């Protein structure tokens, strides 16, 4: 089937786009649509044109893979204009996601009919650019300035019913989209057509609107260039004629297209799509995942159970005894209560989630589950005891996974029956929110078990990254190096607060020291002490000195910083200065840029070692780990990309 075909339903032409996988607007597709407009303009007997797509979605945007190349004709804004000035009205029939250039094409049409399951959006700012084919100029004409600002500066798609309320689509239909769109076209032809989108007026917003939006965006998208530039382009559309506004938008788009932030965000975009389907597992069939169990109802176990329920899997939650079972269920309810408070879930949805959970302390309930994830206390004896029971009770083909973050999975699986079905699945807390999932096979893990880990990652909507076995796998190993570099910078005479500020200025939500105060210094301290007890030579760290002085972080009223009661804002501490004075050579303090260069450089250096040792499959996986697990600013692309 060619990329654009035309057929007729009486006096209505139907233009069908077929450019798998997502009908992206490649040069060939733009040319095909242009030619269709030319042909249909002059075809006798045709009164309207329905534009519909084959496959899973309406046009999902410009072809991101063309971004690195010089733009080729027909340029997308010209194509949108060509459709808008067609002699017969075009009606966009939208299913799946009409995104970016796809929605811009739909706005060039005289009407938009969307399936109730469809969504529309302008995600360009998530790629570090602005819409380049009238998204900032037509959207306010279609739906008003406020809707345009929400759609364009967040990059978040909206579902069809909401889009209809906003004025972005004219009708929401269910059932046969093609038939509904043709019927809509016929009805629309019975009355005068609305003006073309570009001919519609824009109501100016109330005074102070732009300044308020600028402040809100600068706070929400801290450090990102594109959202503010998109706002400026929408504002321009309210102040100058259409053609001038289009020129301004196009100049902005071309300017940002070549920017570092756009390159970084495209890098993450493609890395995220490559990660869940690793090439080396392409022809390995995963095992079925119909039922799951979680051992341990603590923070991690409850979070993992919530993630499994969110994906629709029935869950058996196992704890030591009746009291611990109740605590586990309470933890799970607590997670869902938070989601209801934030408006993410309704009470009814929570009841449905909870009704799919069976909780108890009897392992015999696990006789037929497909997957068990252990999330008990991070101590090898406790974990081994769990797997000894699982090995006895579960089916020999049930996948048994440990959520360990530091222990060696090989040690946990020692003596397990059929170790080929054992794997490490390292979730990040909160497990139902954080997208990163480190998948850690042992040398005995069978390929189909590994493929099942990735299938679980896809099912849970996670970013799964395969990691080899070393202390801390990928993420926690880099975190350890990151913190060591921060301490080295302090030892060489730079203030603790200066390091944190530098990393916040770089784009992290928190610096390394304030983050430790929030999470607790004692966690890493206990790791180090455990390693020392096991005979490893582990140098004393500045963190050790603080923990030994009782300074474990916010929970003890002070760690790297002091905290006033009820006040979580970090205060530089004289006590800390005194405790560490003997370890700090008064040297030239580094400035912000030098600090962040050192810190990111250390992460990249550790990343290169991780690659060389085969712990990570590819550099972009390391970037995904840092962006999705450790707060590395997405628009920097991750340490490997940034360095």
Q: Report the residue number, 41 or 255, with the smaller CB distance to ligand T1G.
A: 255
- Please state, in angstroms and as integers, the Cα–Cα distance from residue 442 to each residue in 411, 413, 437, following that order: 10, 9, 16
Residue among 156, 131, 351, 446 at smallest CA distance from 257: 131
The answer to the question of residue 464 lying near ligand T1G (CB under 6 A) is no
The answer to the question of residue 461 lying near ligand T1G (CB under 6 A) is no
The answer to the question of residue 131 lying near ligand T1G (CB under 6 A) is yes
Rounded to the nearest whole angstrom, what is the least distance from the CB of residue 291 to ligand T1G in the complex?
25
Q: Report the residue number, 32 or 101, with the smaller CB distance to ligand T1G.
A: 101
Q: Report the residue number, 22 or 339, with the smaller CB distance to ligand T1G.
A: 22
Q: Looking at 130-138, 178-186, 331-339, 366-374, which segment touches ligand T1G (CB under 6 A)?
A: 130-138
Q: Report the residue number, 93 or 600, with the smaller CB distance to ligand T1G.
A: 93
Rounded to the nearest whole angstrom, what is the least distance from the CB of residue 157 to ligand T1G in the complex?
8
Q: Report the residue number, 132 or 570, with the smaller CB distance to ligand T1G.
A: 132
Give CB contacts under 8 A, 24+ apart, made by 353-358: 353/306, 353/309, 353/310, 354/309, 354/329, 356/309, 356/312, 356/313, 356/314, 356/315, 357/305, 357/309, 357/314, 357/315, 357/316, 357/317, 357/329, 357/332, 358/314, 358/315, 358/316, 358/317
DSSP per residue, 157-168: -EEHHHHHHHTS
CB atoms within 10 A of CB 282: 8
Cα separation, 269 vs 100, whole angstroms: 14
132, 301, 328, 464: which one contacts ligand T1G (CB under 6 A)? 132
DSSP per residue, 385-414: HHHHHHHHHS-TTSEEEE--SSS-HHHHHT
Q: Report the residue number, 134 or 452, with the smaller CB distance to ligand T1G.
A: 134
Half-sphere exposure (Cβ direction) of 278: Cα atoms closer than 13 Å: 24
The answer to the question of residue 81 lying near ligand T1G (CB under 6 A) is no
Residue among 169, 172, 60, 180 at smallest CA distance from 116: 172
234-273 footprint of ligand T1G as x/- string (CB under 6 A): ---------------------------------------x
Q: Report the residue number, 50 or 76, with the smaller CB distance to ligand T1G.
A: 76
Rounded to the nearest whole angstrom, what is the least distance from the CB of residue 134 to ligand T1G in the complex?
8
Q: Report the residue number, 61 or 607, with the smaller CB distance to ligand T1G.
A: 61
Residues in the chain: 643
**In contact, 289 and 456? CB cutoff 8 Å:** yes
97-116 footprint of ligand T1G as x/- string (CB under 6 A): x-xxx--x------------
Q: Contacts with ligand T1G in 269-328 (CB under 6 A)? A: 273
Q: 599: alpha, beta or left, given left = phi > 0 and alpha = psi -120 to 50?
A: alpha
Q: Looking at 125-133, 141-149, 377-385, 456-464, which segment touches ligand T1G (CB under 6 A)?
A: 125-133
Rounded to the nearest whole angstrom, what is the least distance from the CB of residue 102 to ligand T1G in the complex?
7
The answer to the question of residue 57 lying near ligand T1G (CB under 6 A) is yes
The answer to the question of residue 123 lying near ligand T1G (CB under 6 A) is yes
Burial class (CB in 10 A: 0-12, 13-18, 19+), 191: exposed
Rounded to the nearest whole angstrom, what is the least distance from the CB of residue 634 to ligand T1G in the complex?
14
Cα–Cα–Cα angle for 340, 345, 350, rounded to 5 degrees = 85
357-386 footprint of ligand T1G as x/- string (CB under 6 A): ------------------------------
DSSP per residue, 586-623: --PPPPHHHHHHHHHHHHHHHHHHHHHTTSBS-HHHHH
Residues facing 6 on adjacent strands: 15
Q: Looking at 58-66, 344-352, 432-440, 463-471, which segment touches ligand T1G (CB under 6 A)?
A: 58-66
Rounded to the nearest whole angstrom, what is the least distance from the CB of residue 61 to ligand T1G in the complex?
2
13, 52, 53, 62: which one contacts ligand T1G (CB under 6 A)? 62
Q: Report the residue number, 67 or 209, with the smaller CB distance to ligand T1G.
A: 67
The answer to the question of residue 117 lying near ligand T1G (CB under 6 A) is no
35, 38, 65, 613: which one contacts ligand T1G (CB under 6 A)? 65
Q: Report the residue number, 133 or 399, with the smaller CB distance to ligand T1G.
A: 133
Q: Looking at 56-64, 457-465, 497-505, 559-567, which segment touches ligand T1G (CB under 6 A)?
A: 56-64
Q: Report the residue number, 57 or 573, with the smaller CB distance to ligand T1G.
A: 57
493, two tokens: 């005479």
15-54 footprint of ligand T1G as x/- string (CB under 6 A): ------xx-x------------------------------
- Residue keyed to tokens 């030579």: 537
Rounded to the nearest whole angstrom, what is the least distance from the CB of residue 96 to ligand T1G in the complex?
7
The answer to the question of residue 85 lying near ligand T1G (CB under 6 A) is no
Per 3-state DSSP, the chain is made up of helix, strand and coil in percentages (nearest 5) of 50, 15, 35
64, 232, 382, 469: which one contacts ligand T1G (CB under 6 A)? 64
Cα separation, 575 vs 459, whole angstroms: 49
The answer to the question of residue 135 lying near ligand T1G (CB under 6 A) is yes
**In contact, 418 and 396? CB cutoff 8 Å:** yes
The answer to the question of residue 63 lying near ligand T1G (CB under 6 A) is yes
The answer to the question of residue 215 lying near ligand T1G (CB under 6 A) is no
Residues facing 295 on adjacent strands: 318, 374
Tell me the site size for ligand T1G, rule CB under 6 A. Answer: 24
Q: Report the residue number, 72 or 203, with the smaller CB distance to ligand T1G.
A: 72
Catalytic residues: 104, 124
The answer to the question of residue 128 lying near ligand T1G (CB under 6 A) is no
Residue among 156, 192, 188, 155 at smallest CA distance from 171: 188
Which SS3 state, helix, strand or coil, does residue 382 take?
A: helix
The answer to the question of residue 127 lying near ligand T1G (CB under 6 A) is yes
- Please state, in angstroms and as integers, the Cα–Cα distance from residue 61 to each residue in 116, 263, 292, following that order: 20, 17, 37
Cα separation, 545 vs 553, whole angstroms: 13
**In contact, 171 and 114? CB cutoff 8 Å:** yes
In degrees and rounded to multiples of 5, residue 349 shows phi and psi of -65, -35
Rounded to the nearest whole angstrom, what is the least distance from the CB of residue 437 to ligand T1G in the complex?
16
Residue among 627, 279, 643, 332 at smallest CA distance from 485: 643
Residues within the interface to ligand T1G (CB under 6 A):
21-22, 24, 57, 60-65, 76, 97, 99-101, 104, 123-124, 127, 131-133, 135, 273
């Amino acid at each position: 089937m060619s990329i654009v075909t035309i057929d007729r339903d009486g006096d209505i032409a139907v233009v069908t786009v077929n450019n798998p996988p997502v009908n992206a607007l490649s040069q060939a597709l733009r040319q095909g649509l242009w030619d269709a407009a030319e042909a249909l303009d002059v075809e006798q007997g045709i009164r309207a044109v329905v534009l519909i797509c084959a496959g899973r979605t309406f046009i999902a945007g410009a072809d991101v893979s063309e971004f690195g190349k010089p733009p080729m004709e027909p340029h997308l804004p010209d194509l949108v204009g060509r459709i808008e000035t067609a002699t017969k009205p075009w009606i966009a029939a939208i299913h799946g996601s009409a995104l970016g250039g796809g929605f811009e094409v739909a706005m060039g049409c005289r009407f938009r009919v969307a399936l109730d399951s469809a969504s529309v959006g302008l995600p360009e700012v998530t790629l570090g650019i602005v819409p380049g084919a009238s998204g900032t100029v037509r959207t306010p004409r279609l739906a008003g300035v406020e809707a345009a600002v929400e759609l364009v500066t967040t990059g978040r798609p909206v579902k069809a019913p909401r889009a209809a309320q906003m004025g972005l689509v004219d009708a929401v239909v269910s059932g046969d989209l093609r038939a509904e769109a043709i019927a809509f076209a016929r009805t629309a032809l019975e009355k005068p057509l609305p003006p073309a989108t570009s001919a519609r007026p824009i109501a100016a917003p109330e005074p102070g609107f732009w300044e308020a939006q600028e402040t809100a965006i600068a706070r929400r998208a801290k450090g990102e260039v594109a959202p503010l530039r998109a706002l400026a382009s929408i504002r321009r559309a309210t102040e100058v004629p259409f053609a001038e506004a289009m020129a301004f938008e196009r100049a902005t788009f071309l300017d940002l297209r070549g920017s570092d932030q756009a390159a970084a965000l495209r890098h993450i975009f493609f890395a995220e799509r490559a990660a869940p389907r690793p090439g080396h597992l392409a022809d390995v069939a995963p095992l079925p995942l119909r039922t799951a169990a979680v051992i341990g109802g603590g923070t991690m176990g409850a979070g993992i159970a919530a993630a499994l329920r969110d994906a629709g899997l029935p869950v058996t939650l196992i704890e030591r005894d009746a009291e611990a079972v109740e605590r586990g269920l309470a933890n799970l309810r607590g997670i869902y209560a938070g989601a209801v408070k934030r408006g993410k879930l309704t009470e009814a949805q929570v009841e449905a989630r909870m009704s799919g959970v069976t909780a108890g302390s009897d392992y015999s309930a696990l006789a037929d589950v497909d997957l068990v994830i252990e999330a008990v206390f991070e101590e090898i004896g406790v974990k081994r005891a769990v797997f000894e029971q699982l090995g006895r009770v579960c089916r020999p083909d049930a996948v048994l996974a440990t959520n360990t973050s530091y222990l060696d999975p090989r040690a946990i699986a020692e003596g397990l029956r059929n170790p080929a079905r054992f794997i490490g699945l390292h979730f990040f807390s909160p497990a139902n929110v954080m997208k990163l999932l480190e998948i850690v096979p042992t040398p005995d893990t069978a390929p189909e078990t590994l493929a099942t880990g990735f299938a679980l990652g896809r099912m849970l909507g996670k970013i799964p990254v395969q990691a080899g076995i070393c202390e801390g796998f990928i993420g926690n190993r880099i975190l350890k190096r990151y913190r060591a570099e921060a301490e080295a910078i302090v030892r060489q005479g730079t203030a603790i607060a200066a390091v944190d500020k530098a990393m916040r200025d770089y784009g992290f939500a928190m610096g390394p020291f304030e983050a430790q105060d929030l999470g607790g210094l004692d966690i890493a301290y206990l790791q180090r002490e455990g390693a020392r007890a096991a005979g490893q030579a582990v140098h004393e760290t500045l963190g050790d000195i603080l923990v030994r002085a009782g300074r474990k972080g916010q929970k003890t009223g002070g760690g790297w910083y002091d905290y006033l009661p009820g006040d979580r804002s970090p205060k530089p501490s004289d006590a800390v200065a005194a405790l560490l004075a003997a370890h700090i050579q008064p040297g030239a303090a580094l400035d912000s840029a030098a600090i962040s260069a050192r810190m990111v450089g250390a992460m990249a250096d550790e990343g290169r070692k991780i690659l060389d040792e085969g712990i990570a499959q590819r550099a972009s996986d390391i970037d995904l780990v840092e962006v999705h697990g450790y707060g590395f600013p997405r628009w920097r692309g991750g340490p490997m990309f940034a360095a």
